[in-house]
Amino acid sequence: MAQNRLSAIALEIGSVEAYAIDDYVQGRPVDIRRAVANNGYWIWDTEEFLALLDVWKDYNAAHREDPVHVLGADQPQTAQAVDYVVAAAARLQLDAETVKLLGLLREKRAAAITEMSRESIDRILSALGDAIGSGEVDSFDSQRARDVIAAVSVRNRILASSKQGVYKNAQRDRAIAEMLASYAAVRQDRSVAFLGHNVHVMNLPDKSPPPAGVHLRQMLRSEYVSIGVFALDGETRAWDAGLAVGVIPQRLEPTPDTSFAGAFAAGTPAERICFWNRELPLVAREWLKVPRAVRGFGPTFVAGEEAYQHLPMATAVDAAILLRNVQPTTPTMTGVRKRGPGGP
């Protein structure tokens, strides 16, 4: 991490929800199991992720002068972020009408906000950012406050561009990209890593809606580097196809040798194969220009041919990590998801 001047690791969770996790890896007293559970994302609520947080915590303990932070880059819900900004607004003694206006952004459906109101909200957020930067809101961590204001600003812009002020899942990747770009901008020469599904990080301009990777390549150009992680065999953990049982271990069918991952793994017994596209032999780079079968992963398990998409891997990712055998994650007590009596 130090070698690559990594400043922060962003996760698919809300901005404010990440604070307790960041506090933990900075060595502050936090009930980390509760903090992870409170995010509500079962993909993170695992024993393996908790162990990874301990690795980051140990790293920071050995590099106190240059620690790595944990950020939240997701935007499906921003209620806590808006509440955080409203609290900052109250400390600046803004009038009740202003605080009420900011509060409208807490809702997924914010049709009540007019174009004039949106402009006012942008001015308020800008003023808050300036005030925090100058130290007027001294009881708030300035970097965190600026990050949260960026999150709320993104929410306001996304709602402004949508019909009837509705925040749809189709706009999620754009919001993620804007959040990540804002994080990168304030950290200047430092790197920010984003841990997300391949479907978010890939540069696939022909996909509708475009993944976050497309927006990030447009915003950051060559400074954005996409690294995909792919599995050849083993087991994963996901909802069953019919959503009738729960999040359970699912057996992966062996990856065909004609697929993207299978072709590069053929002929080597290595458990992990890593490569940069630009460093591949010319014949391999030419092969990647033709769309190849790539197995996708998501919250719901898909088997057979439906699990594969044919993608232009020469441009979809800059680098790839192929894992020969993967194992399902281990849910914590709060990370279990199941249908039926007693199911969350």
Calpha distance 109→121 (Å, rounded):
16
Q: Domain count for the chain, please give it.
A: 3
Task: Give the pLDDT band of residue 286 (cuts 50, 70, 90).
Answer: very high
Query: Does residue 191 sit in helix, strand or coil?
Result: strand
Question: Among 120, 121, 103, 104, which Cα is nearest to 112's?
Answer: 104
Arithmetic mean of pLDDT, 48-76:
93
10 Å CB burial of residue 244 (0-12, 13-18, 19+) is exposed
Write down which residue in 166, 199, 214 finishes a domain: 166
Does the pLDDT at position 77 exceed 90?
no
Structural domain boundaries, residue 143: 79-166
What pLDDT digit, counting tens, does each position of 124-163 carry?
A: 888 777 777 676 655 556 777 777 777 777 777 776 666 5
Give yes or no: residues 181 and 67 share one domain: yes
User: Are 149 and 89 contacting, i.e. CB atoms less than 8 angstroms apart?
Assistant: no
- Look at strands 191-195 and 6-11 and give their pairing: parallel
Does the pLDDT at position 10 exceed 80?
yes
Give yes or no: residues 24 and 156 share one domain: no
Give yes or no: residues 248 and 101 share one domain: no
Give yes or no: residues 159 and 306 share one domain: no
Arithmetic mean of pLDDT, 198-205:
94
Which pLDDT value is given to residue 107?
Answer: 59
Residue 340 falls inside a structural domain: no
Q: Give the C-alpha distances (Å, rounded to integers) separating 227 from 59, 88, 93, 318.
A: 23, 37, 45, 6
Q: Which residues contact 222 (CB under 8 A, 6 or more apart)?
A: none
What pLDDT digit, counting tens, does each position of 106-119 carry?
A: 755 455 566 767 78
User: What's 199's domain CATH number?
Assistant: 3.30.1870.10
Give yes or no: residues 190 and 105 share one domain: no
Give yes or no: residues 107 and 216 share one domain: no
Give yes or no: residues 99 and 214 share one domain: no
Question: Among 5, 49, 43, 41, which Cα is nearest to 24's?
Answer: 49
Arithmetic mean of pLDDT, 200-222:
94
Neighbours of 94 (CB within 10 A): 18
Arithmetic mean of pLDDT, 228-241:
95
Which pLDDT value is given to residue 341?
Answer: 46
Single-letter residue type at 28: R
Calpha distance 35→109 (Å, rounded):
27
Neighbours of 86 (CB within 10 A): 21
Arithmetic mean of pLDDT, 224-246:
95
Residue 322 falls inside a structural domain: yes
Which pLDDT value is given to residue 289?
Answer: 94
Higher-scoring residue by pLDDT: 71, 297: 71
What pLDDT digit, counting tens, does each position of 247-266 carry?
A: 999 999 999 999 999 999 99
Element (H, E) at 236: strand 227-239
Tally of CA atoms within 13 A in the half-sphere of 23 that contains its CB: 15
Give yes or no: residues 35 and 119 share one domain: no
User: Are 230 and 198 contacting, i.e. CB atoms less than 8 angstroms apart?
Assistant: yes
Residue 332 falls inside a structural domain: no
Write down which residue in 189, 222, 255 finishes a domain: 222
Which stretch, 109-123, 133-147, 211-225, 328-342, has highest mean pLDDT?
211-225
What pLDDT digit, counting tens, does each position of 290-310 carry?
A: 999 999 988 999 999 999 999
Arithmetic mean of pLDDT, 47-67:
96
Higher-scoring residue by pLDDT: 150, 183: 183
Query: What mean pLDDT, rounded, does the chain reach?
Result: 86
